[in-house]
Amino acid sequence: MAFSKRLLAVFFALGGLLALGNGSPVFAAGGTTCSPYAVQLGDTAASVAAHFGTSVARLAQDNQIIAFSGSRMLPTTATVQVCKTANAAYPRTSIATALRGQPCQSGNYWPSGTLNTDATPPGCYSGDYRIASAHYPRVPTTFGGCDWWPRALHPTWDIWSLPKHTTPKVGAVIWFAPGEQGAASEGHWGVVVAISADGRYILSSEMNTTYYNRYGHGGAQGGYGHVIYRYIRNDAPRTLYVYP
């Protein structure tokens, strides 16, 4: 069915979206991967774009739309194609490039008040991000667990066999010993986003970490397949940093 440009403009001004895709990732030329996202209650074009680290304009382009409002809520019956260019997003030459896969890209890492493990990270670092695995390199680890996230950000690293260091580096993988800073009995993994000026605290990005009533949000944040951010202590040797 063909839509005229006028009909498309009217359709998306009302907050509609074309239902595209069959539920499977679509691999386009130039390393671009497109995956369908089923709209959730309360989603807007702007919130979907922010969630997946893209823009409203890119969403419009990838869904063959002329223009639509970023602030209007989208119908929950719609499906959106979300595309990313993997080759550009995931160069594999430096541990700092892991930051390019983070769902929050703000440079404002630290709270305005006292910095400790209970402090609220500012801006988008206080969010809860449901990750779409199709937007990351395929790795030999089950999606959703804590070890999938650092492997996806460092697809050429074997995080289990690389050396563990006491000195943190931005982009390095974090290893929490069992029971350390909330880790389960088998340990836990994260990724260094930022290091405080005095070296005492780290802003950590983690998958499969759950908080309840955190930062004033009702209910649970994080969990299986979700990424959240928190402040941790630079607490060697119980917390160590993995990099070549």
CATH number assigned to the domain with residue range 5-87, chosen from the 4 options 3.40.50, 3.10.350, 1.25.40, 1.10.3110: 3.10.350
d(CA 205, CA 188) in angstroms, rounded, equals 12
> Is it the case that residue 5 has pLDDT exceeding 60?
no
> Is it the case that residue 130 has pLDDT exceeding 80?
yes
d(CA 24, CA 41) in angstroms, rounded, equals 22
Coil/strand/helix, residue 43: coil
Among 4-18, 74-88, 109-123, the range scoring the smallest mean pLDDT is 4-18
Q: Measuring CA to CA, how many Å separate 82 from each of 64, 131, 135, 151, 230?
A: 12, 12, 9, 22, 27
> Is it the case that residue 152 has pLDDT exceeding 80?
yes
> What mean pLDDT is predicted for residues 8-29?
36
Per the rule left: phi > 0, alpha: psi between -120 and 50, beta: everything else, 192 is beta
Q: What is the radius of gyration, based on Cα positions, of the chain? A: 19
> What mean pLDDT is predicted for residues 133-139?
84
CA angle centred on 109, ends 130 and 159, rounded to 5° = 60
Per the rule left: phi > 0, alpha: psi between -120 and 50, beta: everything else, 147 is alpha
Comparing CA positions, the residue from 215, 216, 165, 212 lying closest to residue 192 is 165
Q: Give the residue with greater pLDDT, 115 vs 220.
A: 115
Among 42-51, 79-88, 208-217, the range scoring the smallest mean pLDDT is 79-88
Q: Give the residue with greater pLDDT, 214 vs 133.
A: 133
Under the banding of pLDDT at 50, 70 and 90, the label for residue 147 is very high
- Give whichever of 41-55, 110-124, 202-216 has the largest mean pLDDT: 110-124
What is the reported pLDDT for 4?
34
Under the banding of pLDDT at 50, 70 and 90, the label for residue 14 is very low
Among 34-38, 82-86, 147-151, the range scoring the smallest mean pLDDT is 82-86
d(CA 98, CA 92) in angstroms, rounded, equals 9
d(CA 232, CA 116) in angstroms, rounded, equals 8
What is the reported pLDDT for 140?
85
Residue intervals in the chain for CATH 3.10.350: 5-87
Q: Are the C-beta atoms of residues 146 and 204 closer than 8 Å to each other?
A: no
